[in-house]
Each structure stands twice: as structure tokens, then as C-alpha cells.
Structure 1
């Protein structure tokens, strides 16, 4: 069932640009944010809200920029792999300290660390380009250099492939004992410790996985946009990921991606047809979803599918 949802979402996003070509870039950006939102959703299963995961989103993006500028690496696979690995390392370092805290302390400490990194990225002009950021050139794909238009067309399908693979792997992780323990941490972590399960280890593993997903999203966003800036680590970006995770729903791995695509399309149309009040349009739509769909868009689809199955 969950694998079927992933495939259906991927197929829809793959076919839609044939009818509306400009959706290609919108989908890539939305899916990039969806990876980071999926990482946030994993922590939400344990009752932890991170308002600082834009830190790892920025790490993934800047790894791509640094590797291109300083090491001359242009291969897409190497850039993505390095971003995921180094984001995971950063997640292990930061997470070893963060997972000792709960509730508002966890949220605010993540926020504080991300804002420190944002300040450093903004001030270190010689290294990061400061507030101007760094340019990201068009990578090579399987050793072939493509023009930007052809690359963007192919890149969507690469991102969709990563979406399916990451979705399957995360679903397997959530169904594993480590993943199932996340809900137990939220319910009664003391009892979990009595059973001999290390809550610290469970949460650290979840934090590293979430950081790797956020780093993957940042790398994809940097490559798609062709430019990385310190604002990718700003707290509003972290809030955006939390909003997307809640909007899409954490009942399934496809939820954050559905929420991200919905929000990006809504924002695109609102800014195009209601340029003076697009924030109002987006805000009202989000309020309606949050009030009337507490389980998110994924939960709505699950309920409709369930009813159809029973009928």
C-alpha cells in the first residue's frame, strides 16, 4: 500500500510536466523541500519538533558548492553522495548533544545552532561568499555534460528516483525496531529504558537519518536553483519544513512530499493570480487544511482509500 502510494505520486509528478512544462522546476524544488520535511516528520514521531533543520539543508547545499568550486567535482552522483554523508556526520555531531533534551528545549536549541551557522555563512565572505552566496554550475550526468535545459528535464526524473528509493528505505527504517521505538519514546520513554532500549541511541539514529534527508534536499535545491545562499539555514526555512510535514501528514513517508508539492503549487498560483495578497490566500488555505484535516493530506487520502476499500 505505502509503496503503491510512492509509485503513484512519482508517476503523477513525472507525467504532469508533459502537459504543463513549467511545473518541472516547481516539482524539483518542492521535492527537495519534501526530503527535509520527511526528516522533520521522523522526529515528530518521537514528539520532537526541530526548528533548526535548515542547518542540514544548508550543509547539503554548500557541500555541493564547495566541491564544485574548490575540488572541481562535477559528477552529480558524487555531489549528492558527499552531501548526504557529510550532512549525516554533522547530524551525528549536533544530535549527540541535542537528543538529551525534550519539548521546547529541543526546538530552541536546534534553532539556536542553525542561527549560529546562518550568521557564519553570512559573515565569512572569503569562504562562503557572504550574503551573496555561491554559484552552482550545471553538474555532469553519468560523465556527460548537458546544457541547462536538457539537464533540468533529466534532473526531475533523477529526483523522482531518489524520492522512491528514499521513501522505501525510510519506510523500512520506520518499520524496524529502531523506527517503532520512536513512537514508544513519545509515549513513555522511561518504560522503554526499563526494557533495555537506549532512548539516546534511538533518538540519535533518528536525528542522523533526518539530517541526511535534509542534506539531500539541500543538495538537490542548490543544484536545481544554481545558487546557494545563507538564507537556506535561516529559521523561517526550518519553520517551512515543519509546516510542510504537518500539512502533508506523518502517517506515511509520502505525506511530507505531498504537502510540499501542494504548498509550492498553491504559492505559485497565488503569487501569479493574487500578487498583492498571495500570502493571505496561502494562509487561509493552510488554516483550512490544518483545522479540517488534522492528519494532513496523506491522512485524507488514506481515509478515502479505506472507505473505498470497505465499500
Structure 2
């Protein structure tokens, strides 16, 4: 079955990458930002499958963005592959530190602790004038293995790079979800005590999921700052983390593609609501989320599950 997954991944990459031929620059930027946020949300979904929700994924979104920006400004690193790798490693280390500490908590305690960590980073960065304080920092245009595109070529290259990262990451996370560790995560959601009696370590599973989510958050933050060209402490603010939770709820925990579809839908709805209803766009988003919750309580991913169930 795995070769079918790889086939679907290849088709998805070709179709999405081909969109760069017809999409205008603004649309490629919008999709790149949506997919970057989708990576962060995929990490939240990984934790949701175990029955916990992080309200502080802005922590790693911000760490990834600031790491890439500081590497570019202080050390002159402009290659996007190097920036992505460096940010991911830093977030991996931070996730490995906090993961085991948070893995013992559940419910509102886990959510509030993750939110607190994110807000501590926000407050710290806002007061550090040496790295821009509340104004943040700018980052130059990236290079791609020595190639320095400009204009539309830059937008196209960045879009295709984001698509490649999303397809690869999504495929790997699907494999993880279907693995023994991933299935234990689902079992933990249903009955944590029974999983412990069967000999599995729930704390270890939760720590793994949190660490994976940290890396995904760093990936998303790196892509976002490169696309925007600017980072500020708002990347770690609670409203940013809330947006990620919004997308995760919209997508549900049953499907990987649904996460990115939900991220794109949110970005499109917000952009056009802000354009046509500048003073009430938050209301439009709220109504949209309520409709989805009422009609699809398990998220967009439940649609795919229903299709599979209907075929069997």
C-alpha cells in the first residue's frame, strides 16, 4: 500500500507545482503562506490524535522564523535549504527539552502550559531591542543552491519549494500515523490507561508527538519569514497560535491533506473577507467555523473517511 501513497504524493506535487504556471504572484504568495501555516497545524493534529491540543505552537513558528532571520543577518546564510535545516534542528532541540516535561500533562493543563511558553517568548522578544524588539527584523531574498532568482522567478521557486516540503512532510507524517507508534497515539486518545497496561509508554508517545510538532512548527516559521521578508514577536502571540488551532479543528485529525486544504480555505476566506468586509472579517471567519463545526463535527477529514466507509 505504501507505493500507492508515494504515487499520490508524486501526483500531488506535479499538480500543485504546475499551478505556478497559471497562478499570479499574489496567489502563489497566498498559497505559500497557507501551506506554511498548514505545516504548523499538522503538528497540532499529530498531538490531537493523542487527545491533547497545543495552544502555543506559535512558539516554534516564531523560533523557526527568528532562527532563519538571525542566521541570514548575522552569518550571511541565504540558502533556503540551509536556513530550513538550521531552523528545524534548533526547534528539534527545543522540542526535545520541553517535550518530556509537558508529556505528563493532559487537557487544559497541557494547553495552558504550551500557551504560557509561547507568551514568554513573545514577551522576551518584545523587550529585546538588540534584535528589533516589537518591530522585528527583516530578512533578504533567499537563494536556492547558489541561484538567486528575482521577481516572478523568486516567487515561483519559493512556491515550488514550499510544495515540495509539504508533500514530503505530509507523506512522512502519513507513514508515521499508520505506524505502530501512530496507532498507539490513537489508542491513547481512546483509553490512555489501557495503553499503559498493554506495556506502551504514553508519556514517550506524547513526547515524540510534541517533538515532531516542534520541527513542523519550525519548518512553517522558516517558510513564512522567507515569504514575508519580515519577522516580529507577533509570530509567538496567542492569536497566532489560536489561528493554528482554528485550522486544526477545521481539518480534524483523520486526514493529512485535509490540514492543508483547511489552511488554504482559511487563508482565502480571511483574505477576501478582509478585502470586502474590512471591519467585520473576524465575524465572517467565526460564522464560517460555526458552519463547519455544525455540519462536520470531526472536521474536513471526516469527508474522506465517509467515502472510504461507503466503499467498504
Q: TM-score range by the shorter chain?
A: over 0.9
Cα displacement (A) at 1:13: 3.8
Which residue of structure 2 aligns with residue 119 of structure 1?
A: 123
The alignment's TM-score, normalised by the length of structure 1, stands at: 0.93
Q: Distance in 2 between matches of 1:262 and 1:124?
A: 35
Give a deviation string over 1:232-270, Cα, whole Å, max 9, x none: 001111111111011122211112111000110111121
User: What are the residue-to-residue correspondences of 1:125-274 with 2, within 5 Å?
Assistant: 125-126=129-130, 128-274=131-277
Q: Distance in 1 between matches of 2:176 and 2:187?
A: 15
Q: Distance in 1 between matches of 2:169 and 2:185?
A: 19
CA contact under 8 A between 1:248 and 1:297: conserved in structure 2? yes
Which residue of structure 2 aligns with residue 63 of structure 1?
A: 67
- 1:97 equivalenced with 2:101 (yes/no): yes
- 1:43 equivalenced with 2:47 (yes/no): yes
The alignment's TM-score, normalised by the length of structure 2, stands at: 0.93
Which residue of structure 1 aligns with residue 35 of structure 2?
A: 31
Unmatched segments (≥5 aa) in structure 2 = none
Q: Distance in 1 between matches of 2:248 and 2:30?
A: 18
CA contact under 8 A between 1:246 and 1:256: conserved in structure 2? no
User: What are the residue-to-residue correspondences of 1:271-286 with 2, within 5 Å?
Assistant: 271-286=274-289
CA contact under 8 A between 1:5 and 1:254: conserved in structure 2? no
Q: Distance in 2 between matches of 1:286 and 1:191?
A: 34
Q: How many residues align?
A: 308
Cα displacement (A) at 1:8: 5.7
Unmatched segments (≥5 aa) in structure 1 = none
Aligned match of 2:84 in 80, 98, 120?
80
CA RMSD of aligned residues (A): 1.9
Secondary structure in 1 matching 2:245: helix
User: What are the residue-to-residue correspondences of 1:277-296 with 2, within 5 Å?
Assistant: 277-296=280-299
CA contact under 8 A between 2:32 and 2:162: conserved in structure 1? yes
